[in-house]
Structure 1
Amino acid sequence: MIDGARTAMDAVAERWGVEASPNPETVTVLVAAVVVLTAVPGIWRVARQASTIVHEMGHVLAAWVTGRRVSGIKLHTDTSGVTVSRGRPQGPGLLLTFLAGYPAPGFLALGLVWLATAGHSGAALTAYQAVLVLALLLSRNTVGILSCLLAALSTGLIWWHNDPEIVGSTVVGLGVFYALAGVRGTLDLCRVHLRPRSRSAAGTDAAQAARAWRALPLPPAMWIILFLAVSSGTATAVFWLLFS
Structure 2
Amino acid sequence: MIEHARSAAGAVAERWGVEASPSPEAVTLIVAAVVVLTAVPGVWRVARQASTIIHEMGHVLAAWVTGRRVSGIKLHSDTSGVTVSRGRAQGPGLLVTFLAGYPAPGLLALGMVWLATSGHSGAALTVYQAVLLLALLLSRNAVGILSCLLAVLSTALIWWHNDPEIVGYTVVALGVFYALSGVRGTLDVCRVHLTSRSRSAAAVVGTDASQAAKAWRLLPVPAWLWLFLFLVVSGSSAGGVVWMLFP
Indicate conservation of the 8 Å contact 1:38/1:184, yes or no: no
- What SS does the aligned partner of 1:179 have? helix
Indicate conservation of the 8 Å contact 1:20/1:120, yes or no: yes
Indicate conservation of the 8 Å contact 1:69/1:85, yes or no: yes
Deviation at 1:33, TM superposition (A): 1.0
Aligned counterpart for 2:214 among listed residues 211, 215, 226: 211
Deviates more, 1:194-203 or 1:206-215: 194-203
Residue number in structure 2 paired with 1:123:
123
Unaligned 5+ runs, structure 1:
none
- What SS does the aligned partner of 1:101 have? coil
Seq. identity, %:
80
Deviation at 1:41, TM superposition (A): 1.9
Aligned counterpart for 1:228 among listed residues 223, 228, 231: 231
- What SS does the aligned partner of 2:77 have? coil
Unaligned 5+ runs, structure 2:
none
- What SS does the aligned partner of 2:146 have? helix
Deviates more, 1:133-142 or 1:211-220: 211-220
Whole-angstrom distance in 2 between the partners of 1:241 and 1:139: 33
- What SS does the aligned partner of 2:196 have? coil
**AA partner of residue 119 (structure 1):** G
Give the TM-score taking structure 2 as reference length.
0.98
Whole-angstrom distance in 1 between the partners of 2:148 and 2:167: 20
Deviation at 1:40, TM superposition (A): 2.0
Residue number in structure 2 paired with 1:181:
181
Residues 1-244 of structure 1: pairs in structure 2 closer than 5 A: 1-198=1-198, 199=201, 200-244=203-247
Question: For each residue in 1:45-79, what CA deviation from the matched residue of structure 2 results, as whole angstroms up to 9, or x when unmatched?
Answer: 11100000000000000000000000000000000
Question: For each residue in 1:159-201, what CA deviation from the matched residue of structure 2 results, as whole angstroms up to 9, or x when unmatched?
Answer: 0010100000000000000001100000010111112242211
- What SS does the aligned partner of 1:72 have? strand
When the two chains are superposed, the root-mean-square deviation of aligned CA atoms in Å is 0.7
- What SS does the aligned partner of 1:85 have? strand
**AA partner of residue 188 (structure 2):** D
Whole-angstrom distance in 2 between the partners of 1:153 and 1:66: 31
Deviation at 1:36, TM superposition (A): 1.5
Deviation at 1:158, TM superposition (A): 0.4
**AA partner of residue 116 (structure 1):** A
Whole-angstrom distance in 2 between the partners of 1:238 and 1:225: 20
Deviation at 1:39, TM superposition (A): 1.9
Deviation at 1:218, TM superposition (A): 1.2
**AA partner of residue 246 (structure 2):** F
Whole-angstrom distance in 2 between the partners of 1:183 and 1:216: 26
